[in-house]
Structure 1
């Protein structure tokens, strides 16, 4: 992987891994409840600015809950939904794209028309329709995001498969007796990974934003489980007097997205160099 050789990618990857570790272990290290009310300690300013607020590093919200712990759990939920949904999009979209591109015919045409129809439905409309009439559990949100995002992967996979199936090595392998399944999984699938990897990395950021939007409008993961969207939505009512309620989760989300975009940018530049023959 050429991108790994770049300092830019390594920095983004290291920071991203650090954020994942922090989201998993941070709440246990801080040992502060993200859901327990303590009205006597509501609207405490961040301890980084006011030492009397210790141990609430980034202050408390309108119910006296530790904001940093809640933001870390929100980050954990956003990462879980973002990574899992992108993995599902990749598997489903790649499978449909490879089958369509490799076998062609009426079946391939039908799969592409289904793909086009799915792409015509805005993701937010699909999410509101499905989650508005069902309980918005993490699994339901992941399934909705997969349903909304797989067509992009299908198109990339189909394009690569159409190109690869015409090459001499595929014909040679089939003459030697390899099955269609082996050709697809062993020989064509690895060629799909480089172009899709760039899409997948940036899609993690996109799905994290989408999860926050769903929480903000009230159809994401429901309270008392903290999410970026619900924390920011609650904080907008007190933004003039307690700005940290919206700032802390927003800043944590922005840092995470920057790390992902750094990795995606390094991966794209590395891929362009390979295509142009510089490496």
Structure 2
């Protein structure tokens, strides 16, 4: 038999806080500019390589080291951003690299949210020895630098996409666990939680239906900014040879290949860097707008 979980009026207002934050953020020009840039980049990454029909890994030695269109006399329709040392199209390679970077960044943050919020909710709700054990595990995880852990694990195993997501995600969840725990510890003492317990609702239903929605506003902007942070870490790993392995193009390994040609073919390393910079800028604009919107809403509450 299903037990209905009572949700009072005040709590329904709390559940809608995240929607109010999104609306307030969307009203700012910063958020809109970031959203437009991000949407254009994502659409280009998804559509252009497919529409152009260009294979990002296919070599064309006869067309190697072609300069971008703005350095030539005429528009180069075949390779508008030039080619690399073995004739591969830099525009297509940069956009495909953006695909992988976004895939790894977003998937890593989702994993961080699932692990961190789950453990933080359990620790905050039950307290006592469960809270003590989980928080000591969190402290131990926080004491290990993420990049050191990633290098150690990926250095002794094959750095596939799932492995990179798993390593980055499982090394970065403690922040979410601590934020979630603090929110849940405050809310578990409220009357609506006690009413749900008295009515016979299970602990899982209380945590999933009452407490989990309240966790979203404090972490909503953290997760957006963490996508950018994980993209940077993925690029760093690719640059040092511990990211997605060639011939699959990613920002890190493209820049690493291009550093040898900075004097006579600087665009090989620069173009993926420009795309990465634009993507990070758009994400940071949206994340900063969300943070300011959250502060305004909570400050006026």
1:125 aligns with 2:168: no
Residues 70-109 of structure 1: matches in 2 within 5 Å? 70-109=93-132
The Cα shift of 1:11 comes to 2.4
Residues 200-279 of structure 1: matches in 2 within 5 Å? 200-277=223-300
- Alpha-carbon distance between aligned partners in 2 of 1:229 and 1:19, rounded to the nearest angstrom: 18
- Alpha-carbon distance between aligned partners in 2 of 1:26 and 1:144, rounded to the nearest angstrom: 31
The Cα shift of 1:215 comes to 0.3
Cα deviations by residue, 1:68-93 (Å, 9 ceiling, x for unpaired): 10000100000000000100100110
Question: Which residue of structure 1 aligns with residue 60 of structure 2?
Answer: 38
The Cα shift of 1:15 comes to 2.1
The Cα shift of 1:52 comes to 6.2
- Larger displacement relative to structure 2 (12-21 or 108-117): 12-21
The Cα shift of 1:32 comes to 1.7
Please identify runs of 4+ aligned residues in structure 1 that moved more than 3 A: none
- Alpha-carbon distance between aligned partners in 2 of 1:225 and 1:61, rounded to the nearest angstrom: 14
- Alpha-carbon distance between aligned partners in 2 of 1:234 and 1:222, rounded to the nearest angstrom: 12
TM-score (norm 1): 0.97
The Cα shift of 1:63 comes to 0.6
Question: Which residue of structure 1 aligns with residue 4 of structure 2?
Answer: none
Q: Contact 1:47 / 1:55 at 8 angstroms: preserved in 2? A: no
Residues 163-174 of structure 1: matches in 2 within 5 Å? 163-174=186-197
Cα RMSD of the aligned pairs, angstroms, is: 1.2
Partner secondary structure for residue 149 of structure 1: coil
- Alpha-carbon distance between aligned partners in 1 of 2:197 and 2:76, rounded to the nearest angstrom: 70
Question: Which residue of structure 1 aligns with residue 85 of structure 2?
Answer: 62
- Alpha-carbon distance between aligned partners in 1 of 2:57 and 2:277, rounded to the nearest angstrom: 24
Question: Which residue of structure 2 aligns with residue 14 of structure 1?
Answer: 36
Cα deviations by residue, 1:30-68 (Å, 9 ceiling, x for unpaired): 222211111111110002332264320100001110011
TM-score (norm 2): 0.90
Listed as ranges, the gaps of 5+ residues in structure 1 are none
Q: Contact 1:218 / 1:230 at 8 angstroms: preserved in 2? A: yes
The Cα shift of 1:183 comes to 1.1
1:25 pairs, out of 47, 51, 65, with: 47
- Alpha-carbon distance between aligned partners in 1 of 2:103 and 2:45, rounded to the nearest angstrom: 10
- Alpha-carbon distance between aligned partners in 1 of 2:47 and 2:235, rounded to the nearest angstrom: 21
Listed as ranges, the gaps of 5+ residues in structure 2 are 1-18
1:49 aligns with 2:76: no
1:111 pairs, out of 134, 150, 162, with: 134
- Larger displacement relative to structure 2 (27-36 or 7-16): 7-16
